[in-house]
């Protein structure tokens, strides 16, 4: 298995507050990794540093043979690193189809591999996430779970190698969680490496081949899910002393 | 050597006093832009409105301009509350505060300016008061009362606002709304009402700021535009929303402008403010991201 | 309508306008028409940045007047044909836009807007202090009675140039809307973070929009000295330019090119007709009140009433599909 993502010694401070410190993480192509941690443990900062929304102060991120450190967020997306946002951020004045058109035009078409039939590709993506026939709707008309699906479809429209799903299931019903879970598993079967950040443990345990735990900006555990959750340090972090 | 030293000393003293006055015209922006995230670019126009209020009371009734402006603050407060109500209903609540909200305040800016032109004409207006003219002398340093009284009035107003914000329940609620609206809801306070009070207060300061302005220099309707660069530069460099920072930044700009005026000529001072603004944007952006 | 057809139609409309104006053959028509066309250019140029990317430029007067002063300076240095001078003015103002953008576009949108307001004041300060272009007392520009090129009245020549520029800016604006660039601008306007995550190079696109918008404003300002024949800082940097240029797209509608066009034609024509009867201050007051009324009550502007550019009335919008090629991926 070849390495897709190699994070070493990642650190980030906000003023005096240490958000991340010395985080190492290696992820192989095709893996399904769960990333968990209590609120404020640095998960979002970690994602933002990987995706270029924030600049890490120390350490290095290597992705698919490239050093990402100084690259702008859009360059990272073009290299194949896509994310969905914790709170869905669709382009509100654009229709669902137009939302998907942005990454197709600005990522897929910039890779020099020719142009896609955009409407057909949009339909394909919408079919995949279960939003068939909704291309002309505005995001404002979507339900909560449909908004999450659009968020994932837009990330997938960039044809990524690695997808970071940032709490794609928060606030959804049991059935809806299963829907999104099935969707992410299908994406993984199609060859996309996925990091799932989630609070819903049922989903994380079902999905992950590997589980990584962040607490107070440090990685305290990394291994098989069943072993990691029995790790006393993890139990302490979650349940208190 | 001696002459240039006393020039320098005088420039610094008048710069400090000027800075005290700049703090008064900026404090409203520190509240609206810094704490409430409302980009009220019309604030300088309301300052000029305050100047004309003081001018009217002074020329028609012979009242001291600063006293008159204090009497007028309730009217400005109501004006501010009304503007916030429209702003909130039309833009903030619709989540469309950026482009149309800015255009709204820009519209208010030139409506105010044009109305003043139509009512008072384009000529410069000034006020009479006993402290306009005489100066205190400390050796070679001259302190004109025309600058000293406004600076003292300004610092008194800012001190009063500071006490209000840190001691009263509503003041603390305003500080809370600046941090996090959700937290305020938990306190069972209505964030819209709190923001309305805070915004109305910011406009009320324009009454006093305007009176101070017309004490310092003659005023015409479009003068406010010269202050836009200044007030936003001070508010940003002062660390949006911080009163102490605002006063310090205002004094720094005052001294820089005063030195420029002394050694290069007064027609260059608007350019100083712009340089200051660019500096503010270049140095401070870290604090402004994510807001 | 395809690009070429639209260009032909726009040129045909322009030819009709010029023909009709010649037919009336009244100097005032050209004189007033020039101002209307100038505002069509300014409003459309403003909208390329303001309407498409959502960044509000309050400094129209700065971009516009700086190019006018470029003309004054060039006239003193070396005689050049007016179209070349317009390009030079466009270049100067385009670079100004690029510089402003580079300094402030990494920040929140409001800072860019505040900086443009301050920029106009500072540009005016520099012109007041620069005696080469007349300083505070102003400068005269001698307008030749006729042009060598067409042998027509100089005012007709100015009118024709501004008409051509109006066609150009509208064609460019429409081209942007229908291209990838327009999608990128819209993504920036809606959500910059999500735009970056979707691969949109936001900073580069914003700089492009600022430079393009500034350049067109400059090209509209370059002929001004020959139109007014006497240029001084207060009139060149008049608040009216900034106020009208923001009001026109917002009243007409910012989502698509017909918005600024309709807004400019309506307001500028109204002002040209009304200057005879009411003062320019009352004129500005009306524009201000209309601007505030529209942003509050009609966020999609006049074109929104006809369903143009309203996201909620855009179901099934058709787009030209680019020619397909087999992908090897």
Q: Confidence class of residue B3 from pLDDT cuts 50, 70 and 90?
A: low
Residue C157 CA to residue C150 CA, distance in Å, equals: 8
Cβ distance of C118 and B228 shorter than 8 Å? yes
Residues of chain A with C-beta less than 8 angstroms from the C-beta of C329: 111, 113-114, 159
Instruction: Name the token pair of A157.
Output: 């429209």
Q: What is the mean pLDDT of chain C?
A: 86
Q: How far is B31 from chain C (nearest CA, A)?
A: 16
What's the total number of domains in chain A? 1
3-state helix, strand, coil in chain B (%, to 5): 80, 5, 20
Q: Confidence class of residue B184 from pLDDT cuts 50, 70 and 90?
A: low
What is residue B14's three-state secondary structure?
A: helix
Instruction: Give the number of other CB atoms < 10 A from CB of residue B160.
Output: 10
Task: List pLDDT tens digits, range B64-88.
Answer: 999 999 999 999 999 999 999 999 9
Model pTM?
A: 0.89
Task: List pLDDT tens digits, range C182-207.
Answer: 999 999 999 999 999 999 999 999 99
Residue C74 CA to residue B54 CA, distance in Å, equals: 47
CB B270 within 8 A of CB C125: yes
Pick the closest to residue B69 from B88, B87, B56 (CA basis).
Answer: B56
Residue C162 CA to residue C158 CA, distance in Å, equals: 6
Minimum CA–CA partner of A141 in chain C: C312
The answer to whether residue A126 sits within a structural domain is no
Cα torsion angle, B5, B6, B7, B13, sign:
positive
Q: Confidence class of residue B288 from pLDDT cuts 50, 70 and 90?
A: very low
Residue B75 CA to residue B42 CA, distance in Å, equals: 17
Residues of A with CB under 8 A from a CB of C: 51-53, 72-75, 77-78, 82-83, 85, 89-95, 98, 101-103, 105-107, 109-111, 113-119, 136-138, 154-155, 157-159
Nearest CB to C186 within list A74, A91, A115: A91
Cβ distance of B118 and C285 shorter than 8 Å? yes
Task: List pLDDT tens digits, range A65-109.
Answer: 899 888 999 999 999 999 999 889 999 989 999 999 999 999 999
CB interface of B with C, residues 210-229, below 8 Å: 222, 225-226, 228-229
| H or E segment and range at residue C15 | helix C3-24
Q: Which DSSP category does A169 fall into?
A: T
When mean pLDDT is compared across A109-118, B174-183, C90-99, the lowest value belongs to B174-183
**CA-CA distances (angstroms) from residue B117 to A124, B110, C53?**
61, 10, 34
ipTM: 0.91
Q: What is the rounded average pLDDT of the residues C70-90?
A: 91
Cβ distance of A82 and C197 shorter than 8 Å? yes
User: Exposed, middle or buried: residue A191 (CB in 10 Å: 0-12, 13-18, 19+)?
Assistant: exposed
CB B165 within 8 A of CB B172: yes
Minimum CA–CA partner of C199 in chain A: A74
Q: What is the rounded average pLDDT of the residues B243-263?
A: 88
C267 touches chain B (CB under 8 A): no
Task: List pLDDT tens digits, range A8-39.
Answer: 999 888 877 888 888 999 999 999 999 998 88
- Residue spans of the domains in chain C: they are 3-237
Q: How far is C43 from chain B (nearest CA, A)?
A: 14
3-state SS of B111-158?
A: HHHHHHHHHHCCCCECCCCCCCCCEEEECCEEEEHHHHHHHHHHHHHH
CB C311 within 8 A of CB C186: no
Q: What is the rounded average pLDDT of the residues B265-285?
A: 72
The answer to whether residue A81 sits within a structural domain is yes
pLDDT over 70 (residue B187): no
Vertex C325: Cα angle to C324 and C326 (nearest 5): 125
Q: How far is B13 from chain C (nearest CA, A)?
A: 25
Cα torsion angle, C300, C304, C309, C312, sign:
positive
Q: How far is A218 from chain C (nearest CA, A)?
A: 26
Bridge partners of residue B144, in order along the sequence: B135
Alpha carbon C50 to its chain centroid, in Å, reads: 11
Nearest CB to A94 within list C186, C315, C321: C186
What is residue C188's three-state secondary structure?
A: helix
CB C90 within 8 A of CB C218: yes
For A29, the domain range is 3-88+161-239
The answer to whether residue A135 sits within a structural domain is no
The answer to whether residue A110 sits within a structural domain is no
Question: Tell me, what CATH number does A33's domain have?
Answer: 3.40.50.300
How many CA atoms lie within 13 Å of B256's alpha carbon, on the beta-carbon side? Answer: 21
Residues of chain C with C-beta less than 8 angstroms from the C-beta of A82: 197
């Amino acid at each position: 298995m070849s390495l897709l993502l190699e994070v070493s010694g990642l650190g980030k401070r906000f003023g005096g507050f240490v958000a991340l410190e010395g985080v190492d993480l290696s992820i192989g192509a095709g893996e399904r990794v769960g990333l968990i941690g209590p609120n404020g443990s640095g998960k979002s900062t970690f994602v933002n540093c990987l995706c270029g929304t924030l600049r890490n102060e120390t350490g290095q991120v290597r992705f698919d043979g490239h050093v990402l450190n100084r690259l702008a967020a859009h360059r990272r997306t073009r290299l194949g690193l896509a994310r969905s946002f914790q709170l869905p951020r669709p382009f509100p004045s654009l229709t669902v189809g137009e939302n998907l058109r942005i990454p197709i035009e600005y990522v897929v078409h910039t890779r020099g591999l020719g142009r896609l039939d955009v409407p057909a590709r949009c339909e394909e993506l919408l079919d995949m996430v279960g939003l068939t026939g909704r291309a002309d709707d505005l995001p404002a008309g979507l339900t909560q779970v449909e908004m999450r699906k659009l968020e994932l479809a837009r990330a997938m429209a960039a044809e990524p190698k690695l997808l970071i799903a940032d709490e794609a299931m928060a606030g959804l019903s049991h059935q809806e969680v299963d829907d999104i879970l099935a969707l992410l598993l299908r994406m993984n079967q199609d060859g996309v490496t996925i990091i799932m950040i989630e609070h819903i443990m049922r989903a994380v345990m079902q999905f992950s081949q590997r589980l990584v735990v962040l607490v107070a900006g440090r990685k305290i555990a990394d291994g098989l899910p069943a072993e990691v959750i029995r790790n006393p340090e993890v139990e302490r972090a979650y349940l208190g002393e | 050597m001696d002459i240039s030293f006393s020039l320098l000393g005088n420039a610094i003293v008048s710069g400090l006093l000027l800075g005290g006055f700049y703090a008064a015209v900026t404090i409203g922006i520190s509240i609206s832009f810094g704490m409430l995230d409302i980009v009220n670019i019309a604030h300088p126009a309301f300052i000029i409105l305050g100047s004309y209020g003081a001018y009217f009371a002074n020329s028609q009734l012979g009242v001291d301009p600063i006293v008159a402006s204090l009497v007028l603050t309730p009217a400005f407060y109501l004006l501010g509350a009304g503007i916030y109500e429209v702003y909130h209903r039309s833009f903030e609540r619709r989540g469309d505060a950026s482009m149309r909200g800015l255009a709204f305040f820009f519209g208010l800016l030139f409506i105010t300016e044009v109305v003043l032109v139509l009512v008072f004409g384009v000529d410069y207006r000034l006020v009479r008061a006993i402290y306009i003219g005489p100066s205190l002398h400390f050796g070679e340093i001259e302190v004109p009362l025309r600058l000293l009284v406004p600076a003292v009035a300004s610092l008194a107003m800012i001190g009063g606002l500071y006490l209000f914000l840190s001691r009263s329940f509503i003041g603390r609620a305003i500080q809370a709304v600046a941090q996090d609206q959700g937290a305020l809801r938990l306190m069972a306070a209505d964030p819209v009402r709190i923001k309305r009070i805070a915004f109305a207060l910011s406009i009320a300061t324009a009454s006093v700021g305007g009176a101070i302005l017309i004490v310092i220099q003659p005023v015409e309707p479009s003068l406010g535009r010269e202050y836009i660069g200044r007030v936003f530069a001070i508010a940003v460099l002062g660390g949006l929303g911080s009163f102490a920072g605002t006063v310090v930044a205002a004094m720094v700009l005052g001294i820089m402008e005063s030195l420029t005026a002394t050694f290069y000529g007064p027609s260059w001072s608007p350019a100083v403010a712009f340089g200051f603004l660019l500096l503010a944007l270049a140095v401070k952006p870290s604090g402004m991201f994510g807001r | 309508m395809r690009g070429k057809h639209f260009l032909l139609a726009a040129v045909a409309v322009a030819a009709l306008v010029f023909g009709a104006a010649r037919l009336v053959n009244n100097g005032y028509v050209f004189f007033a028409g020039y101002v209307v066309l100038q505002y069509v250019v300014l409003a459309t140029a403003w909208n390329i940045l303001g309407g498409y990317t959502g960044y509000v430029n309050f400094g129209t007067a700065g971009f516009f007047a700086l190019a006018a002063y470029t003309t004054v300076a060039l006239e003193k240095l070396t005689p050049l044909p007016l179209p070349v001078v317009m390009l030079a003015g466009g270049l100067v103002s385009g670079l100004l836009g690029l510089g402003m953008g580079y300094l402030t576009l990494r920040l929140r949108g409001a800072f860019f807007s505040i900086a443009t307001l301050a920029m106009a004041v500072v540009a005016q300060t520099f012109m007041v202090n620069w005696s080469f272009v007349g300083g505070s007392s102003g400068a005269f520009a001698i307008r030749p009675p006729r042009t060598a090129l067409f042998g027509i009245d100089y005012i007709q020549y100015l009118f024709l140039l501004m008409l051509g520029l109006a066609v150009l800016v509208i064609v460019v604006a429409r081209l942007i809307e229908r291209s990838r660039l327009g999608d990128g601008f819209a993504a920036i306007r809606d959500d910059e973070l999500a735009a970056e995550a979707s691969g949109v190079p936001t900073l580069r696109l914003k700089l492009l929009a600022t430079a393009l918008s500034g350049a067109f404003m400059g090209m509209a300002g370059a002929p001004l000295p020959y139109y007014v024949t006497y240029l001084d800082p207060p009139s060149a940097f008049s608040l009216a330019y900034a106020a009208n240029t923001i009001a026109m797209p917002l009243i007409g509608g910012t989502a698509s090119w017909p918005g600024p066009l309709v807004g400019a034609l309506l307001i500028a024509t109204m002002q040209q007709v009304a200057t005879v009867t009411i003062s320019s201050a009352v004129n500005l007051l009306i524009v201000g009140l209309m601007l505030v009324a529209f942003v509050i009550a009609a966020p999609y502007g006049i074109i929104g009433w006809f369903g143009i550019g309203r996201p909620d009335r855009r179901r099934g919008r058709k787009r030209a599909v680019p020619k397909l090629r087999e992908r090897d991926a």
